[in-house]
Amino acid sequence: MKELVGSCCVCGKQLYCLDGFFNGVYTENNETICFDCSKDREKSAE
């Protein structure tokens, strides 16, 4: 099952829940971010 749950706050990509697993990252600031943007943020924080 694929259910739209929101969009990435960085790039706007649509984020889905796939068979019960969220296909993105939910931050402490209540933001949803796609995996690609999350990796980019981690790299820039180093």
Looking at the DSSP bridge assignments, the partners of residue 26 are 32
Which pLDDT belongs to residue 9? 96
Q: Identify which of 6, 5, 1 has the alpha carbon closest to the alpha carbon of residue 20.
A: 1
pLDDT digits (tens, 9 = 90+) for 1-46: 899 999 999 999 999 999 999 999 999 999 999 999 999 988 887 7
Buried b (16+ CB within 10 A) or exposed e, 16-29: beeeeeebbbeeee
Q: Please give the Cα distance from 3 to 14 (Å, whole number).
A: 10
Number of domains in the chain: 1
Print the domain residue range for 7. 2-45
Question: Quick check: 38 and 26 in contact, CB under 8 A?
Answer: no
Q: Which pLDDT score, from 0 to 100, does residue 43 have?
A: 86
